[in-house]
Amino acid sequence: ETGVTQTPRHLVMGMTNKKSLKCEQHLGHNAMYWYKQSAKKPLELMFVYSLEERVENNSVPSRFSPECPNSSHLFLHLHTLQPEDSALYLCASSGTEGINTIYFGEGSWLTVV
Amino acid sequence: AQSVSQHNHHVILSEAASLELGCNYSYGGTVNLFWYVQYPGQHLQLLLKYFSGDPLVKGIKGFEAEFIKSKFSFNLRKPSVQWSDTAEYFCAVRRTSGSARQLTFGSGTQLTVLP
């Protein structure tokens, strides 16, 4: 149990589908993050939310749309993805953005066909 | 922007061998440094971190890392590895000032320990 729960763990979707990844943290943290982990590449930060406001968007394509309805939940809405978007998507949280240690969820494996 | 280099992509050791994984970063200011570990099929877990003070930090499971500011390095060490240490290890750096406060990760080092 990591304190950060992601669902689904595995997702296969077509390029025309719309799906969402969900993340929930049970740690009382104020900041939440989406990272993309591809094989043989460093983890890429996609989005940062601090106190439910987006504070960082690292030039992610608009086919990825985050949503943070409250400090415990974070979504990543997926629409018209490309095969190269197949990767492990990691959610993480921390006490305060930029200060505390970041804790990761187990990830959602996404395959785009 | 800062970057993190992990020069060893795959390390293979026998049990009881000593381990040192290299990590170098490129930023001249004050940083926080981290090592994360990802066991097969599991989530990223914090192994140890350096914020300030003693540059030799000890983490879980017998790991330690030494911050050498002059070399911009934060190498991970363990005197005697076990088969259960087989995992991928990620070094990460975070600037402590400015807007770029998010972690920058290295590309990871896969450690395989042979029984």
Which of B44, B96, B99, B104 to mutate to test binding with chain A, by most A CBs within 10 Å of its CB? B44
- The whole-angstrom distance between A17's CA and the closest CA on chain B is 27
Query: DSSP letters of A29-60?
Result: -SEEEEEEE-TTS--EEEEEEETTEEEEE-S-
Confidence (pLDDT) at B91:
95
Angstrom distance (rounded) from CA A108 to CA B51: 30
B80 pLDDT tier (thresholds 50, 70, 90): very high
Residue A1 has pLDDT above 70, yes or no: no
Q: Does A48 touch chain B (CB under 8 A)?
A: yes
pLDDT digits (tens, 9 = 90+) for B41-62: 888 899 999 988 999 999 999 9
Token code pair at residue B101: 């406060």
Q: Quick one: average pLDDT of B20-38?
A: 92
